[in-house]
Homo-oligomer: A and B are copies of this chain.
Amino acid sequence: MPSPSLDFWFDLASNYSYLSVMRIETRAAQAGVTVRWRPFLLGPILDTLGWEGPPFVVQKEKGAYVWQDMRRLCRKYGLPWRQPSEFPRRAVLATRVAVLAADEPWLPAWCRAVMTRNYGDDREVDSPEAVAQILTALGLPARQIVDEAGSDANRLRLRERTQAARDLGIFGAPTFFAGEEMFWGNDRLEDALDAALTARQASGGD
């Protein structure tokens, strides 16, 4: 019987993805669910959907609220928070590294480090220098990884991943899939984990 699993689609530039990137390993471990990390780029999907940017950037009334919401949620979850002076902050190279690291044990640590630098420290996360600095701090061969992340093959991998997100009907981040059941938003992480457990029980047998 396969262990229950949850697909975790997120964007390294997305503020609500930050909350789930930081929380999901602990919560999933408590629930006994394996997480499959699926970094993608939300920007091209929002373009397709006709948005001119993140919905709450387009609508300024909601935008002001979102920072208040983020501040409160980070306090509640015990996460570092500094309102970013630039939003959304480009993180394409960092996302290419995440896609390259699909099967690496350091992928979650990479994502947490990138997001903490953006949302905890208000620092840019897209330059080769920033990316190399974070990789080095994780004890990884920065130069080699940055080169591979920028290769044509890996760029294509990210485009395919983003197309896969589009094909799944994803319209925001983070988004979770328990089997084929979609859950949108950090607020649904716990419900998605519950669904992953239920789906596994429903599939029966060992």
A interface residues with partner B (beta carbon < 8 Å): 49-50, 55, 59, 61-62, 64-65, 68-69, 72, 76, 169, 171-172, 181-182, 184, 187-188, 191
Contact = CB atoms under 8 A, between A and B. Distances in A.
The count of identical subunits is 2
Contact of A61 (B72, B76, B171): B171
A203 to B, nearest CB: 19
A51 to B, nearest CB: 8
21 contacts: A49-B59, A49-B61, A50-B59, A55-B55, A59-B171, A61-B169, A61-B171, A62-B171, A62-B172, A64-B169, A65-B169, A65-B171, A65-B182, A65-B184, A68-B181, A68-B182, A69-B184, A69-B188, A72-B191, A76-B191, A187-B187
Contacts of A191: 72, 76
A81 B169 CA distance: 24
A14 to B, nearest CB: 15
Contacts of A171: 59, 61-62, 65
Nearest to A188: B69
Contacts of A64: 169
A55 B61 CA distance: 13
Nearest to A56: B171
A188 B68 CA distance: 13
A151 to B, nearest CB: 32
A18 to B, nearest CB: 17
Contacts of A182: 65, 68
Give the top 8 A-B pairs by smallest Cβ distance, nearest first. Answer: A61-B171, A187-B187, A62-B171, A65-B184, A61-B169, A49-B61, A49-B59, A65-B182
